Amino acid sequence: FRTIDDLDVAGKRVLMRVDFNVPMKDGKVTDTTRIDRTVPSIKELTGKGAKVIILSHLGRPKGKKNLDFTQKPVAEALAAKLGQPVAFAPDCIGPDAKAVVDAMKPGDVAMLENVRFYAEEEKNDLEFAKKLAEVGDILVSDAFSCSHRAHASVEALAKLIPSAAGRLMQQEVEALSAALEAPTHPVAALVGGAKISTKLDVLGNLVEKVDQIIIGGAMANTFLAAKGVDVGKSLCEHEMLENARVIMAKAEKAGCEIVLPTDAVVAAEFKAGAPSEAVAVGAVPADKMILDVGPASIVGLTGRLAGLKTLLWNGPLGAFEIEPFDTGTNAVAQEAGKLTKAGKLLSVAGGGDTVAALAHAGADSEFSYISTAGGAFLEWLEGKTLPGVAVLRK
């Protein structure tokens, strides 16, 4: 891996590809996590006398300039975090970008407009990458969370000019490798969420790598149904039962234990305050749906955590957005946080809803590592090579 340590950045124009694809509402950034996590790299580079030029995408503007997706408010949020001005260029290539970059002094920070305003970005277009390279001498990539995209600013550009991983990219790859490539055993993956159809490849890869897979969320219903359990009105992918059976057979062959809930909290509807009760998974009433794991499962899972050395977490255990169906996720996340804090467990989480679920449980700050990545985290779990990471390897 090439890192900032391999670069001489003083006085240079350092293009920094970040993933500031951040949630926005009414023109304001509503969650600055991805910005916060790149601040150390930016400060290190400016501290070494680099001119730091931030480049990112925001949303999916479909290759056209569309100011609904402008990065300007993101530049303002970044300036507030850095405590220094961030000049904003209304284009990421051409004269408007150059004018802003030409005016920079060592230690300055600027931000370019959304790179996805050009269709060439998503085509990994070499000519477009050359235009981006005109405003930078060096590329530092801190965009792990979009490293699964073989796009011009992620991949092609990294081959054109000297490039290296930023500190966030380094951390992400190190943490994920520690949990999946060379973990301390026993290692378990907790995989939750609604659908197994979106996680077939994740599960298929994990059975070969981990000792246990704890299945939660509505996904568990599909596994239970595949074992012949009547899950009543529960969310369940009935067309996926055979896939679930294939995964269970593959797991058995690989010596990977698939852990399913033994009891569940059920209600007639998915609504706050809907009357709910705990039943054994074999006794779900026909007119009710499973919305969380039950108390016996919580005891089982928290006890199980005590026997682990490594835990990978992706997805919630229940419908955590609505009380009391957050109980299972909260209890198990809090226990994982406690064991991590006590130095007994390495816990790594990421992907989609996961961070929100752990933050809701108040356990996010106790985990060993929380990835900023959604889709890229899942592709890593699938065992895929991420083009934006591969291109930075030595």
Binding residue numbers for (2R)-3-phosphoglycerate: 34, 116, 149
Round to whole Å and give the CA distance between 148 and 14: 22
Which one among 149, 199, 288, 304 touches ligand 3PG, defined by CB under 6 A? 149
β-sheet with 163-165: strand ranges across: 86-89, 109-112, 51-55, 13-17, 138-141, 163-165
Compute the radius of gyration of the chain from its Cα atoms.
23
Near ligand 3PG in 309-348, by CB under 6 A: none
Picking from 125, 61, 72, the residue whose alpha carbon sits closest to that of residue 96 is: 72
Would you name the residues annotated as active-site residues? 34, 195, 352, 375
Binding flag, residue 64, ligand 3PG (CB under 6 A) = no
Binding flag, residue 21, ligand 3PG (CB under 6 A) = yes
SS3 66: coil
CB of 80 to ligand 3PG, least distance (A): 21
CB neighbours of residue 264 within 10 Å: 31
CB of 22 to ligand 3PG, least distance (A): 9
Binding flag, residue 146, ligand 3PG (CB under 6 A) = yes
**Alpha-helical segments (H) within 193-267:** 200-209, 217-226, 241-254
CB of 28 to ligand 3PG, least distance (A): 18
Binding flag, residue 353, ligand 3PG (CB under 6 A) = no
Binding flag, residue 387, ligand 3PG (CB under 6 A) = no
Binding flag, residue 374, ligand 3PG (CB under 6 A) = yes
Between 162 and 375, CB nearer to ligand 3PG:
375
Check if the beta carbon of residue 317 is closer than 8 Å to that of residue 193.
no
Q: Which residues are annotated as a binding site?
A: 19-21, 34, 57-60, 116, 149, 199, 321, 351-354
Q: Which residue is nearest to ligand 3PG (CB)?
A: 21
CB of 143 to ligand 3PG, least distance (A): 8
Binding flag, residue 60, ligand 3PG (CB under 6 A) = yes
Angle at 391 between CA 146 and CA 181, to 5 degrees: 75
CB of 57 to ligand 3PG, least distance (A): 7
| Torsion sign over Cα 240, 199, 332, 321 | negative
Round to whole Å and give the CA distance between 392 and 54: 18
List residues near ligand 3PG by CB under 6 A. Answer: 19, 21, 60, 145-146, 149, 374-375
